[in-house]
Amino acid sequence: MTTTTLAVGKPGWFSQRGAYDWLYALCIVLGAGYAFQRYGSSMDVYERGILLGAVPSLIGLGWFWGPLRTLSLGVGAATLLAISLYNQHLDNFGADLAAGDKVFLLKYFLASQSAIMWMSVLFYMSTLFYWIGFFTRQGGENALGLKVGSGLAWAAVFMALTGTMVRWFESHQIGPDIGHIPVSNLYEVFVLFCWLTTLFYLYYEAHYKIRSLGPFVMLVVSAAVGFLLWYTLVRDAQEIQPLVPALQSWWMKLHVPANFIGYGTFALAAMVGLACLLKESAPRSLWTGLVAVPGVLAVGIAGYAALASAPDAPVDAAWKAVRLIGGTALFFALMVSLRRPINAKTPTLTVMDDVMYKAIAVGFAFFTIATVLGAFWAAEAWGGYWSWDPKETWALIVWLNYAAWLHMRLMKGLRGVASAWWALSGLVVTTFAFLGVNMFLSGLHSYGTL
For residues 318 and 446, membership in a common domain is answered with yes
Return left, alpha or beta for 388; rule: phi > 0 is left, psi -120 to 50 is alpha, else beta. Answer: left
State how many domains the chain has: 3
The pLDDT value given to residue 315: 52
For residues 172 and 265, membership in a common domain is answered with no
pLDDT at 14 over 50: yes
For residues 53 and 135, membership in a common domain is answered with no
CA distances from 202 to 197, 217, 386, 442 (A): 9, 10, 36, 36
Rounded mean pLDDT of the chain?
Answer: 85
Query: 3-state DSSP call for residue 237?
Result: coil
For residues 414 and 296, membership in a common domain is answered with yes
Boundary of a domain, candidates 163, 179, 201: 201
For residues 183 and 79, membership in a common domain is answered with yes
Under DSSP, the state recorded for 42 is G
Average pLDDT over residues 86-109: 79
Distance (Å, rounded) from C-alpha 164 to C-alpha 149? 22
For residues 368 and 261, membership in a common domain is answered with yes
Task: Spell out the residues 6+ positions from residue 448 whose beta carbon is closer than 8 angstroms to its own.
Answer: 185, 186, 189, 438
Boundary of a domain, candidates 164, 185, 201: 201
pLDDT at 444 over 70: no
pLDDT at 309 over 50: no
Task: Spell out the residues 6+ positions from residue 317 whose beta carbon is closer than 8 angstroms to its own.
Answer: 305, 309, 439, 440
Boundary of a domain, candidates 139, 174, 201: 201
For residues 184 and 126, membership in a common domain is answered with yes
Average pLDDT over residues 317-346: 74
Helices (H), 292-383: 293-308, 314-337, 339-343, 349-382
Quick check: is 228 in a domain? no
Average pLDDT over residues 255-261: 95
Range in 25-39, 198-212, 323-337 with the lowest mean pLDDT: 323-337
Q: Which of 347, 349, 357 is nearest to 211 (CA)?
A: 347
Quick check: is 229 in a domain? no
For residues 145 and 32, membership in a common domain is answered with no
For residues 334 and 433, membership in a common domain is answered with yes
Quick check: is 220 in a domain? no
- The confidence band for 302, taking pLDDT boundaries of 50, 70 and 90, is low
Quick check: is 394 in a domain? yes
Quick check: is 317 in a domain? yes
Average pLDDT over residues 330-334: 77
pLDDT at 97 over 50: yes
Quick check: is 184 in a domain? yes
- Please give the distance of CA 76 from its chain centroid, rounded to a whole number: 20
The angle at the Cα of 61, spanning 36 to 79, to the nearest 5 degrees, equals 50
Q: Which of 282, 309, 310, 264 is nearest to 431 (CA)?
A: 264
The angle at the Cα of 422, spanning 298 to 277, to the nearest 5 degrees, equals 90
Distance (Å, rounded) from C-alpha 178 to C-alpha 175? 5
Q: Which of 292, 321, 290 is nearest to 304 (CA)?
A: 321
Average pLDDT over residues 237-261: 87
For residues 196 and 279, membership in a common domain is answered with no
Range in 186-190, 233-237, 399-403 with the lowest mean pLDDT: 233-237
For residues 191 and 287, membership in a common domain is answered with no
The pLDDT value given to residue 292: 54
pLDDT at 221 over 60: yes
Which residues constitute the domain of residue 51? 26-36+44-57
Quick check: is 348 in a domain? yes
Quick check: is 159 in a domain? yes
DSSP for 80-127 reads HHHHHHHHTT-SSS---GGGGGTSHHIIIIISHHHHHHHHHHHHHHHH
Query: 3-state DSSP call for residue 182?
Result: coil
For residues 260 and 382, membership in a common domain is answered with yes
Q: Which helix (H) or strand (E) holds 273?
A: helix 252-280
- The confidence band for 108, taking pLDDT boundaries of 50, 70 and 90, is very high
